Amino acid sequence: MDRAVLPSILNDLCDDSHRAHPDREPIRQCALSGVERLHFPSGSTAVFKYAQDPLTGEDLVLRSARHAGLPVPQVIASIARDGVLGMLLEDLGEPIREAGDTDGIVAAVALHAAPHPTGSSIPHMDEDALAALPILARGHLRRLREAGRWMDGTDDIAGLLDELDARAEDLAAGANIPPYGWVHSQFHPGSLHLGADGWRLLDFARSFTGPCLLDIASWHGTTTDPDPARLRTLLEAYVAAGGSAAALAPRGGGLPAEVWALVWHRVWTAEWLMEEALRWINDPDQDPHTIAAVRRHLTGAVGLLLAA
């Protein structure tokens, strides 16, 4: 990201919202985005969130979510310039506690029942798009190798993608079974802010319309081995809390819902990591870490299929 544009974006955001220029306090930063707390001379605060492509549509999605009645941070002002989005958001303050499984279920039921945005502001992930993920990832691998990267020790990744691609059409069956709608896609305890006045859902930059089971599968993260029994318990609690009863229905040629969701969430994550490495971060120094993560996700997905 060209962070040289951030001061001018922030200046214009403050001018547009009739605020004096603030002191900046970094909160977190990664390769594609960052978050700061702004302290204004008046004593008030706000959050400055910025991101580069492909995360530059979050302001539109947050406004749609708020219009749909979902509890999300208010977008005070936003500007997209030179491939960078800057947003001035309401400051929710520090959370009173970390979100647990029950909190996640409540938020997921509300999100998946909300009317989702349509048009170019949010991508669509139906059965065909889901089935295309392994071959898309295979294309990323080919282009990385053409660039002289991911050359050594990645034949197993190619093999895992080929194995998944051979079954992808059958495995994608049932993607449109409810709950189908607004998918947050980065749904985990860190994306749920619990304050004194209730909960707010954060980080909609990669949301899409598609099979909502991917949100439930993402809640416990991907750094450990996939645990179908644990996810089944979460899905049953989701249904009991008002989520669609069809969330428990088999998919993908008879796979249990929890296995199907874990497989596709890991394939989706692997494809994203590979495209990110190729297009948006494009830093060969990070390749060993990314290769290890992609291998872990794909091995987990194929392992689930073999055990089913």
Instruction: List domains and CATH numbers for the chain.
Output: 3-89 (3.30.200.20), 101-307 (3.90.1200.10)
C-beta neighbour count of 28 within 10 angstroms: 10
Confirm if 232 and 166 have CB atoms less than 8 A apart: no
pLDDT, position 116: 77
For residue 284, pLDDT beyond 90: yes
What pLDDT score does 121 carry?
67
Can you give the pLDDT at residue 119? 62
30 confidence band (pLDDT: 50, 70, 90): confident
Render pLDDT for 65-76 as a digit per residue (tens, 0 to 9).
Answer: 999 999 999 999
Q: What pLDDT digit, counting tens, does each position of 103-145 carry?
A: 999 999 999 999 877 665 688 999 999 999 999 999 999 999 9
Cβ pair 164, 302 in contact under 8 A: yes
The model's pLDDT over 76-94, given as tens digits with 9 standing for 90+, comes to: 999 999 899 999 999 999 9
Category of 291 on φ-ψ map: left (φ > 0), alpha (ψ -120 to 50) or beta: alpha
pLDDT in the model for residue 120: 58
- Does the bond joining 73 to the residue before it have cis omega, within 30 degrees of 0? no
| pLDDT over 70 at 19, yes or no | yes
Give the mean model confidence (pLDDT) for residues 166-191. 96
Per-residue pLDDT band at 3 (split at 50, 70, 90):
confident
Check pLDDT > 90 for residue 170: yes
β-strand partners of 199: 194
